Structure 1
Amino acid sequence: MTNAYSFEGIIVFSMLVICTCAYMRRVPRLKKWFLSEKKGFLGVFYKASVIGTRLHVPVALTCILMAFYILFLR
């Protein structure tokens, strides 16, 4: 289990948010409903989906590295 208040927990949480929002951007019904706001609190999810879509290779590599770190080194 990862502590949410550590740097490692923040990285894991942000990677999960970015990957989830990028996936939701590919689903048409969820995109219209959830990612329509570009400003405010829900705008954070829109921006995370844009990061996950445009930088999919670095995000995927970071997810793989974090999984390796959590499973084997920690």
Structure 2
Amino acid sequence: MIYSFDGILVFGLLFICTCAYFKKVPRLNSWLLSEKRGVWGVFYKAAIIGTRLHVAVAMSCLAMAFYVIFLK
């Protein structure tokens, strides 16, 4: 599933949602999202995208869920 385009989109949306959740948990926020550059900075940037664009991410998750459940 991850080798198809829709699988990559699902993975990206779940990654953004997970990192946004980690930003809300204080212990995980200080441990995982403290670096803003490099490889670990990807987690920080995904968390920022998830918190600032939470409405768009939520609508994308709903649209992708509808696609996976009913159309695929």
Pick the TM interval, shorter chain: over 0.9
1:65 to partner: Cα distance? 0.3
Cα RMSD, aligned residues only: 0.5
Residues in 2 aligned to 1:4 and 1:14: alpha-carbon distance in whole angstroms: 10
Return the match for 2:66 from 62, 65, 68.
Answer: 68
Residues in 1 aligned to 2:33 and 2:13: alpha-carbon distance in whole angstroms: 18
Off by >2 Å, runs of 4+ in structure 1: none
5+ residue gaps in structure 1? Answer: none
Return the match for 2:22 from 21, 24, 27.
Answer: 24
Residues in 2 aligned to 1:25 and 1:41: alpha-carbon distance in whole angstroms: 17
Residues in 2 aligned to 1:42 and 1:9: alpha-carbon distance in whole angstroms: 23
- 1:43 corresponds to which residue? 41
Among all aligned residue pairs of Structure 1 and Structure 2, give the percentage whose two residues are the same amino acid: 64
In the TM superposition, what are the counterparts of 1:6-25 in structure 2 within 5 Å? 6-25=4-23
Residues in 1 aligned to 2:69 and 2:5: alpha-carbon distance in whole angstroms: 17
TM-score by length of 1: 0.95
5+ residue gaps in structure 2? Answer: none
1:26-57, CA deviations, whole angstroms, 9 ceiling, x for partnerless residues? Answer: 00110000100101111001000000000000
Secondary structure of 1:36 counterpart: coil
